[in-house]
Amino acid sequence: EIRAARRAAVDHGDGRRAESLRAMAASGRHFLAFDGRDGGRTAEVFGDLSGATRIAVLVPGAGVDLDHYWRLKRDAEALTDELGGGSAVIAWLGYRTPATVSPQAVTPGVADQAVPQLTSFVRELGAALPDARISLLCHSYGSVVCARGASGLAVADLVLYGSPGTSAGSAAGLGTSATVWAGRGGGDWIAHIPHLRLDLGFTSLGFGTDPVSPEFGAEVFDAGDAGHSDYLRRGSVSLRGIARIVTGTEDDRA
């Protein structure tokens, strides 16, 4: 399917998409799902999924599509290396993310449309690997997706980073048995976004309580000086912290 999508991109003169798909079609890559339509959908495995006791599912935020998939791949590879053996990372691009600067990025509609796909994927993953510890790593607008579906997601950890909010007033309000973690780097511009939520009747604007605030009640992890797109940067404080959450050792810090 990836090669067919690449041929279609070439036929339409879309060189950027064709190059992205050429890289995705390289040997040695392992996709659980792929659909080249409507911005693209994919789920790619990094590491040995069949033997994994710990699985991290990356849920991206706004502005990620097949043309920008390299960002998600970069992050997945860095986390896989940080976790080491016995772990697997899945880059889940299972919804059409909103444009970074758009009305959709500050309203929950896109997230609500993505929730059924995410809950279905996590349910199937848990059924296939019932003994594995699954953590959802939710970046930026992806944290809205995870939060809106939290009550239906059987995972050990829900990690919100670079989050604009979740539409919930507290971690308890998410209705999940997972441990809810939140982190924000010192260099992340999202700290300057007002944490407001306005009910407009037909939708809401903004996502309310800051997930790293005491009133939200999440477990806050150290994200160092991470910028908005740098949380899984190799060698970073935030990458090490997120990896400890995935392995279940974050609470064991001295």
pLDDT in tens, 224-249: 999 999 999 999 999 999 999 999 98
**Ordered DSSP codes for 101-157:** SSGGGGSSHHHHHHHHHHHHHHHHHHHHSTTSEEEEEEETHHHHHHHHTGGG---SE
82 is a domain residue? yes
Half-sphere exposure (Cβ direction) of 22: Cα atoms closer than 13 Å: 8
Would residue 83 count as lying in a domain? yes
User: For residue range 34-58, what is the model confidence (pLDDT) as tens digits?
Assistant: 998 877 899 999 999 999 999 999 9
Q: Which of 74, 93, 88 is nearest to 231 (CA)?
A: 74
Dihedral over Cα of 216, 145, 73, 71: its sign: negative
The pLDDT > 90 percentage for the chain reads 73
The number of distinct structural domains making up the chain is 1
Range of the domain at 53: 29-252
**Which residue, chain included where needed, has tokens 């609500």?**
112
Residue pointed to by tokens 């998939």: 69
Residue 34 identity (one-letter amino acid): F
Is 217 a member of any domain? yes
CB contact at 8 A, 73 and 236: no
- pLDDT lower than 50: segments of the chain: 254
Whether 168 is covered by a domain: the verdict is: yes
pTM of the model: 0.92
16 located within any domain? no
Evaluate whether 87 touches 80 at the Cβ level (below 8 Å): yes
Amino acid 70: pLDDT: 92
- 73 and 80 in contact (C-beta within 8 Å)? no
What pLDDT, on the 0 to 100 scale, is given for residue 254?
Answer: 40
205 in a structural domain: yes
pLDDT of residue 160: 98
The CATH number of whichever domain residue 62 belongs to comes to 3.40.50.1820
Please check whether residue 231 lies inside any domain of the structure: yes
pLDDT at 252: 56
Q: Which DSSP symbol is given to 99?
A: P
10 inside domain: no
